[in-house]
Structures are given as C-alpha cells and as structure tokens.
Copies of this chain bind each other. A is one copy, B any other.
Amino acid sequence: MYFFRNDYSEGALPQVLDALNQTNALSTVGYGLDPFCAEAASSIRRRFACPDAAVHFLMGGTQVNLTAISALLRPWEAVIAASSGHIAVHETGAVEATGHKVCTVPSGDGKLRPEQIRAVCAAHTDEHMVLPKLVYVSDSTELGTVYTRRELEALSETCRALGLALYLDGARLAVALDASDVRPEDLPALCDAFYIGGTKNGLLFGEALVVVREAWKSNFRHAVKQRGGMLAKGRLLGVQFQALLQDDLWLRSAAHANAMAARIRDGLSGLGIPVAADSPTNQLFPILPNAKYEALARGFSFEVWDRPDPEHTTVRFVTSWATTGEAVDALLDALRA
C-alpha cells in the first residue's frame, strides 16, 4: 500500500531523527529554555532576516493558531479568513473556543484578496458587531495554491491601511516558498506573525512561530503555557528545527515533495484528468471517474475530498519528503491502467 494520504504519514527525516538520537542522553533545562532552542531560534532569525523577532516552538498547527490569535486580540476583536481556511473549517472551533469570531469570505482557490478584507471591514461599522483585527492566510493554502510576493504585499498593505494584523499559517510554508517567488526574508517584512511548519516537512512534530510585531511579543510564554503548548522537554523542538534548518534541509525536502507532485500533475494532465485546484505544491486534487477512484483505492492510501457529481470523486494526493519515485511510478501506472 503506497501512501499519498498526507505529509505526516511517516516519522522524521533521517537527519532529524539522528539529531534526536545523538542528543538523547544530554541533560538540559526544560520548557524551551535550553541551548538547542536558543540556537534554532537564532538560525530562524538569521534565515528569515528578522533579528528582532521572537521565535516560539510549539507542537502543532491548531495549537499555534489558537495561542497566537488569542494572545493578540481583545475579546471583541475578530479574525478574517477564507471560508476554506484551516481555522475556519478544520480546527473544531478552536479560535472561537478562545472567544473570537472568525469572519469568513468565500474563496474558490483558498486565497484571500485585499478587496475581501476591505469589504469585511466596511461591513463592521459599530459596537453591535465584532471588530475585525487580524487577517489569517495560509501559504500554501488548504488547496495547495500559493501566494505570489506581489499578492502578499497587497494583503500586507491592505492590512496596514486598515489597522489589521497579518498572520500567516505556514503549516506548509516550505513547499509554498519552493513554488513561488516569495523568499523567507519577505515574510517578516510583510506579516506581523507567521509560523514555519515542521510537522508536514519532516519533523516528528513542531512548528516555529515567528512574532514580528512588538505588541504581540510581551508575555507570549504565558500564553503558550496557558494554552497547554509548552513542552516539558522543549529542547526536542530546538534539536529538530536546528537539524531542519541545517543546509536548508527544510527547503530541499520541500523541493523533493514538490518535484514528486509535479510528476503526478504531469501524469494527470497527460491523461486528461482535471484537477479541482491549480496547485503547484504537494497537494493535488484530481477529479476521478468513480471506477478509477475505486480501483486506485485498492492499492493506494489517500483521502476523498469531494463528490462533485454522481459519476466522479475528487481525491487528494499528497507528497512529502518521504515520497519515493517508486511510489510515484506505481501511482502513475495505476492511473494509466
């Protein structure tokens, strides 16, 4: 059974696992106050050109999103997100559970646009309504699409003009950077906070939140502890991220995932199989005839995304650092069969 189910179906990249093995017996202080976390934070600040940013390591995306968003907002302040945004759909109301409304706008491709932000703000006119204060975007999006640098700049300018914070969910940031003209050093200049996803890029677990905006930094460790996100053996996050940043392993792993996806995308295209979203990254959404879907499901593990009509099934194929050329070959063979 080949897995195209997700980019978190396996354990860790060999280099990451090695680093954990080699440091296992060392004794350090807990809660992320150890030298490994300090070094990993420095590496991130250097690689993303943000010497003054605060870096916090947490264990998962929902945890980062709910902690960061609730740490910034006052009770009546709200988030703007695409209707397909992860916080809006797939986090069991985690942001609302901290007391904040998520105002959604429809998005066919998973991306948010400046005019949508302006429209939400214009519609929220008085104290009988929430006050939108933070814009949430994912890059790559939940549909595998990516923002161009120009698009992110336009969002950033819009947010600043309207007094909104821009927060970028980078659960799959590395594949987005690999597939777009956005560079690591652009993000701190454009966003008030963003996170670098490790879980979907070869760590056992771990996300690195980078907080750029000054007012967001104070007492953030209180926020992390209160929301249950402070790992006792915090150094595990530092060790893993340090290994991931070494020689740009994070970007090389993402490039591999994207390359594997590109082979599948080309194969689908050659077979005339349409896709539900125009993704240049490691998530693909082919719309398969039901018989084809059922045949594939016998030898491959993947998710069903949608049933656009009674004769078709949209599925999701995800590649990762762990996807082998052999698995891609097998998938392409099966698609052609």
- Per the bound structure, the CA–CA distance linking A210 and B11 in Å amounts to 26
Q: Across the interface, do A224 and B127 meet the contact criterion of CB distance under 8 Å?
A: yes
Least CB distance, A207 to chain B, in whole angstroms: 10
Given contacts A59-B59, A92-B76, contact A229 B228 (CB under 8 A): yes
Min CB gap A331→B, angstroms: 14
**CB nearest neighbor in B for A235:** B11
**Cβ contact within 8 Å between B90 and A222:** no
Which of A67-75, A249-257, A276-284 makes up part of the contact surface?
A67-75
Instruction: Determine if A226 and B23 form an interchain contact, defined as CB atoms under 8 angstroms apart.
Output: no
Cross-chain contact A75 with B62 (CB below 8 angstroms): no
A116 at the interface (CB under 8 A from B): no
Which residues of A75-95 have CB atoms within 8 Å of chain B's CB atoms? Answer: 75-76, 78, 89-94
Q: Would B228 and A60 count as touching, CB distance under 8 A?
A: yes
Indicate which residue in B27, B61, B223 contacts A75 across the interface (CB closer than 8 Å): B223
Interface residues of A in 189-243 (CB under 8 A from B): 199-200, 204-205, 219, 221-233, 236
Q: Judge whether A12 is part of the interface by a CB distance below 8 angstroms.
A: yes
Binds B, one of A41-49, A97-105, A176-184, A290-298: A97-105
A-side binding surface: helix, strand, loop or mixed? loop
> A1 — which chain B residues lie within 8 A by C-beta?
27
In-complex Cβ contact of A93 among B91, B101, B221, B224 (8 A): B101
Which range contains the number of A residues in contact with the other chain?
35 or more
- Contact between chains at A233 and B3 (CB < 8 Å): no
Partner of A97, one of B23, B75, B231: B75
Asked if A301 CB lies within 8 Å of chain B CBs, one says: yes
Bound Cα distance A93, B67 (Å):
14
Find out whether the CB atom of A223 lies under 8 angstroms from the CB atom of B24.
no
Known contacts A96-B101, A97-B99, A205-B233, A128 near B27 by CB under 8 Å: no
Q: Say yes or no for A154: interface residue by CB 8 A criterion.
A: no
Please determine whether A9 and B30 come into contact, CB atoms closer than 8 angstroms: yes
Q: Which of A71, A205, A225 has the most CB of B within 10 A?
A: A225
Instruction: Please determine whether B71 and A74 come into contact, CB atoms closer than 8 angstroms.
Output: yes
A-B pairs with lowest CB-CB distance, top 7: A63-B228, A11-B24, A76-B222, A3-B27, A127-B221, A93-B101, A92-B226
Binding site for B on A (CB under 8 A): 1, 3, 5-6, 8-12, 17, 20-21, 23-30, 59-63, 66-67, 70-71, 74-76, 78, 89-94, 96-102, 127-131, 199-200, 204-205, 219, 221-233, 236, 301, 322
Known: A10-B25, A66-B228, A97-B99. 9 other contacts (CB 8 A): A8-B232, A9-B27, A62-B228, A71-B74, A74-B219, A76-B93, A92-B226, A93-B100, A96-B96
